[in-house]
Every structure is written in C-alpha cells, then in structure tokens.
Amino acid sequence: MKPLEDIRVLSVTVYLAGPFLSMTLARFGAEVIKVEMPGSGDPIRNVGPYTGPKGISPDRQTDDDLSIRFLKRSEGVKSVTLNLKDPEGRRLFLKLAEQADVLIENLSPGSMSRLGLGYDDVAAVNPGIIYCSIAGYGQSGPYKDLPAHDHQIQAMSGIMDMNGDADGPPTRLGVFVGDLVTPLYAAYSILGALRVKERTGRGQHLDASMIDTLATLMFMEPMEFTLREGQSPRAGNNSRNDVTGLYHCADGDIIITAGGAERWRRLCDALGMEGMHADERFATAEGRETHVELLREAVQARLGPLTTKEGVDRLEGCGVPAARVRSLTEAMSDPHFRDRGTLRPMHRADDVEPVDDGVLAGFPVLFSGGELPALPGGAALGSHTEQVLGGLLGVDAQAIAELKDRGVI
C-alpha cells in the first residue's frame, strides 16, 4: 500500500527535522529526491558512528562507509547532487521543481530565497507546489534569525522549565522533541495542503516552527491558572498532588499511576495500607495533596523491600497501573517491537544484508488496508543523480559528464 505513490517530493534538508519529514513521506510511498551539495552533502553524513565493509566504527574506515545517523533518517530517499550556488545548478533545480508536488526545506530562514529558490521563485514555475519550510522560530517574527537547535528551542519554549526535580535545575527532554514532532505536524499539514490543491489547483507555503510546536504540546497544562497564580514547582518524576510517581524497589525502579479516590483505595489494598485509606486526613484529594510527602514515604516503605516484578504484580493485580523502568537496551530488545514492526533491521541502499546491530524505527501506525512499502536504506551521496537528471529532465550522458567536470553535480 502506497498512499502517496503519485506524489513527488523535492527535499533540501539537513540534520534531523527536514530529513525526518522526508523519510516520513517516503514511507507513505512518495518519491522523495534529496538535493545535496556535491562533495559534502548533508552535514550529518560526516557524523559517526559509521558502517561499511569493515563493520561499525566510531570513525570512517573506508570511502564506502556511511553514517549510521544518516541511515536512520534517510530510508527510501534518493540522493541527487546539485550545486545550488551555481546558475546551472539552480536552473536544473527549478526544472525538477516544475515536476514536483511538494518541496521541503529546513535551511536557515531566507537561505532558499537568497539562492533564488524561495517559495515565490518556485511558485513562478510551478504554481501548484506545496512548499514546506521548517525552522526553529519559523519564517517570521522577532526571533526568526536566531540560531535554533533543539536544546535552545526547548529552553525558549518553556517546556524545559517544566521538567526536572523541584530542588534542581530545569531539565531538557532526552529526545529531540522539537526536531521530531515538528516534522509530524508538517507531514499532515502537507497532506491537508495537497487536498486543497486537489480542489483548487493552488499550492501554498507552509511555515512550520519548532518553538510553536512545543508551545502547542503544552496546551493541556492549565496555563491560565498558572499565569494567574504562579507556576507550580517542578515535580520531577512525581505528580504534584498525589502519590503517582517513581519508587525504588530492591532491584530497580517502578512508576505507578494512582490519582483519584478509587486508585488510591486500590493502592492501599495492594500494599496493605488499609489504615491509611481509612484515615480521614487522606479521604479527599485536597487532603492527599496536603500530605503527599507523608503518603509517598509510606508507599516507598512498602515497595522498597519488593522486587520490581513483585511490586508491579501486586499493584496491577489490584488495578493500579504500574511498570518497571527499563533500560534503553532492554526496551530496544523487546520482541513486542519486532512483532509490530516498530523496530526493524537497518539497511544501506546498496546492500541487501542488514547492518550488524543496526536498528531503524518503523512506522508506529498499522493499516488494515495493507502494509506500507518496504524501502531501500539510506543512499550514498549523489547515487541517484544520473537516474533523476536523465530520467526526469532528459539530460544525456555527455551533458551529465560535463556537469560533473564543472562541479555542478
């Protein structure tokens, strides 16, 4: 099943956010052509570890080695080299853009326009183009020209200040949430824009901002109350107002969810705390919030001598959600993920054998109408240049050789 098999995407993307969007569209069957600078390409190609004929290594051992970081975000994407600073490179790019449905880019705001390849330039040759730009602060606003990486976006958005312990500093999320969630918003915005194009024939410019994305992720928080009453202190791994949180067992940690009167009763039953459940001090949500530290100490005292399995079994047996906190290694080796295709072996585009110990993220939604297509792995720099220029633009072999000699491709 290829929902986007009739869609062609031109991608001028680097590092993570743009390439992740490119790969997401490729997984839906779109033809995605990534345009890279001759000789260097996406800078992430030069960040280890690498994999190649001699296996995985922190440093490049052969000219055929490819960055594992690059492979993880380039599945199903073709690589074409074009020097967009060269007039002939720009001309060829616009010829490709004429035949594209979607163009995505995540360079610094204004970079594509300075090259003569901004939305207005591309729309002049292809009025139906869906042109999607991803940037840290977007294409407008007072911060648009500031350097923007995920760390800075987490800090500026306020989401970082919500994480960490009450007596500790703000804490960054361990995953690049801005770089990864913004492309998902962009992907379904592109699908919406394509539907508009079907009805009207018109394309449009989509301006996706990482900081705006993180702001929307916080909409469930009671911001109106916070602004009026002042921000509650950070709570780390625990809830601010009940015994939900992280507890230490004899062989590791578990996390439980025990908010609400009914789960509080079940927790007391599971851990032999019936006396505390009967205590009028803890009979209401307000009372439990007032005495939350006392209650946490009581829960910890009962869970501490148990193994994580014993603690989870007891709690779940009484209807209290609980889970052992697993290491990343444990989680990644869970057969559940292999069974659902969430994690799959990593491949290079030019190799049928998987990369040793290499793991790729699959697509987390299963379709009853058929599986999404299996895709080739990440491609070597420029490996599709002749195929794309010859097949789409009709550039002959001699002209391609001349373009190589001039450094255009």
Q: Name the segment(s) of the chain with CATH classification 3.30.1540.10.
A: 245-324
pLDDT the model gives residue 360: 83
Residue 253: beta bridge partners?
248
pLDDT the model gives residue 316: 96
Average pLDDT (81-87) is 98
pLDDT band for 354, please (50, 70, 90 cuts).
confident
- Architecture of domain 8-217+335-405 in CATH? 3-Layer(aba) Sandwich (3.40)
Is the pLDDT confidence value at 195 over 90?
A: yes
Q: What is the pLDDT of residues 243-289, one digit of tens each?
A: 999 999 999 999 999 999 999 999 999 999 999 988 999 999 999 99
pLDDT the model gives residue 286: 93
CATH of region 245-324: 3.30.1540.10
Is the pLDDT confidence value at 333 over 70?
A: yes
Average pLDDT (223-229) is 62
DSSP 187-255: HHHHHHHHHHHHHH---EEEEEEHHHHHHHHTTTS-HHHHHHH-PPPP-TTS-SSSS-EEEEETTEEEE
Is the pLDDT confidence value at 231 over 80?
A: no
Average pLDDT (324-349) is 88
Average pLDDT (145-150) is 92
DSSP 8-class letter at 139: S
Is the pLDDT confidence value at 191 over 70?
A: yes
Rounded to a whole number of angstroms, the CA Rg of the chain reads 26
pLDDT band for 373, please (50, 70, 90 cuts).
confident
pLDDT band for 222, please (50, 70, 90 cuts).
low
Distance in angstroms (rounded) separating the CA atoms of residues 399 and 71: 30
Residue 361, H or E segment: strand 359-361
Average pLDDT (146-162) is 92
Is the pLDDT confidence value at 130 over 70?
A: yes
The pair of three-digit structure tokens given for residue 378, joined into one six-digit string = 């990440």
Q: Name the segment(s) of the chain with CATH classification 3.40.50.10540.
A: 8-217+335-405
Distance in angstroms (rounded) separating the CA atoms of residues 131 and 327: 40
Q: What is the pLDDT of residues 6-58, one digit of tens each?
A: 999 999 999 999 999 999 999 999 999 999 999 999 999 999 999 988 888 99
pLDDT band for 346, please (50, 70, 90 cuts).
confident
Q: What is the pLDDT of residues 287-307, one digit of tens each?
A: 999 999 999 999 999 999 999
Is the distance from CB of 66 to CB of 378 less than 8 angstroms?
Answer: yes
Lowest mean pLDDT: which of 158-162, 171-175, 348-352?
348-352
Q: What does each C-alpha distance from 199 to 9, 194, 195, 196, 202 come to in angstroms?
A: 20, 9, 7, 5, 8
pLDDT the model gives residue 355: 83
pLDDT the model gives residue 41: 96
Look up the pTM and report it.
Answer: 0.91
Looking at the chain, the whole-number percentage of residues with pLDDT higher than 90 is: 75
Is the pLDDT confidence value at 365 over 70?
A: yes
Task: Choose between 315 and 363: higher pLDDT.
Answer: 315
Lowest mean pLDDT: which of 31-40, 64-73, 215-224, 383-392?
215-224
pLDDT the model gives residue 221: 61
Average pLDDT (170-188) is 96
Q: What is the mean pLDDT of the chain?
A: 93
**Closest by CA position to 153, among listed 111, 106, 214:** 214
Looking at the chain, the whole-number percentage of residues with pLDDT higher than 70 is: 96
Which of left, alpha, beta for 346 (phi over 0: left; psi -120 to 50: alpha)? beta
pLDDT the model gives residue 361: 84
